[in-house]
Structure 1
Amino acid sequence: MPTYTLHLSDEVDPGAPDALDRAKLVADRFIWPAFWFTALWFFWHRLWLAGLLVLAAEVAAWAIGASLGLSPLAGFVVTLLLSLLIGLEASSLRRWTYERSGRPLRDAVTASDAKEAEVKLVGRWLDRHGPAAPSAPPRMPPYAKTGSPALGLFPEADGHR
């Protein structure tokens, strides 16, 4: 089961339910679209610096392979290994970008999918920081005021049959 991390900006009020609308959830797993599309995946997710670093690494690998005179098969293997590394580290680069932009890691949870992770993180966020507004005292049910030893299963006898 993958681990999901929650990233929120520093100016968020603790326990504010509307703050989670601006939160970013990042799964720590292999990212297949990042494997196939490498730098384009980063640009699609607006991770500009990480995308430029990945693009620079790809160009450098191509230039080194060309200068060494590698065969096309060896060049393909190098490109495949670089794409594998990008797919493995895409979520780490995404978390790094969020840290740099003022959205530090606030929480982490293990879940089977993103929906379950959201439910767990929202529950933790609201429980940890308490409710945003004080709750009303619980209402007493009508049978509790009578002092009857019955548990509410029978109505109070009103004196006549």
Structure 2
Amino acid sequence: MRSYTLHLPRDSRAGESLGLDRAQIVPDGFSWGAFAFSVLWFFFHRLWLAGLGVLAGLIVVAVLGRVLGLSPFTGFLVTLLVSVLIGLEASSLRRWTLARRGRPVRDAVVAGSVAEAESRLMARWLDPAAVPPHPVAPSFQASPSRGAQPVIGMFPFQEGRR
């Protein structure tokens, strides 16, 4: 089972079907297409900046391999490892690009297939009670203030608290 994220325009509201025609569902996990075709996969998905960044990274790796005088087998291993990294990070770069374009993550679901994820996400999105209207930021509790207590060493405790 994989997790899938729903990306909608910022002005979309839960319970409305107006923005669903422009919805994009991004699967999380390893992308075999990005592993095999790297830059072409990014350009196919209209991820221009991420594709150019990957292209620049691949060029830098190739030039460094040439400058360091790596053997062909070592160069192949380095290229394979870089391709694995691209496959692992492709969905994160896709989500980053969508958020930068004004389509943040609105919901996430775990499903067995894209069709199942789409039906779950759309059902949840059309039920306004199921999805918060804005992306929920994690809440962190602020630590209590230490005031004017002196701190000596790495631990901000007074000497008598051992």
Q: TM-score range by the shorter chain?
A: 0.7 to 0.9
1:43 is the counterpart of 2:48:
no
Structure 2 counterparts to residues 9-158 of structure 1, below 5 A: 9-128=9-128
Structure 1 residue 129, shift from structure 2 partner = 5.2
- The alpha carbon displacement at 1:126 in A equals 1.0
Alpha-carbon separation, structure 2, partners of 1:21 and 1:129 = 21
What letter matches 1:108 in structure 2? A
The alpha-carbon deviation at position 66 of structure 1 amounts to: 0.3
Q: Deviations over 1:4-52 (max 9, x none)?
A: 0001111223321131110110000211010000011000110000000
The count of aligned residue pairs is 130
Unaligned runs of 5+ in 1: 131-161
What is the one-letter code of the residue matched to 2:112? S
> How far apart, in 1, do the equivalents of 2:119 and 2:13 lie?
19
TM-score by length of 1: 0.78
Who wins on radius of gyration, i.e. which is larger? 1
* Aligned residue type for 1:72: P
> Equivalent pairs: percent with the same residue?
58
Q: Which amino acid aligns with 1:116?
A: E
Q: CA RMSD in A?
A: 1.2
Contact 2:12 2:18 in 1 (8 A): no
| Structure 1 stretches of at least 4 aligned residues deviating more than 3 Å after TM superposition | none
Mark the runs of 5 or more structure 2 residues left unpaired by the alignment. Answer: 131-162
Q: Is the 8 A contact 2:4 2:108 kept in 1?
A: yes
Partner of 2:149: none
Q: What TM-score, normalized to structure 2?
A: 0.78
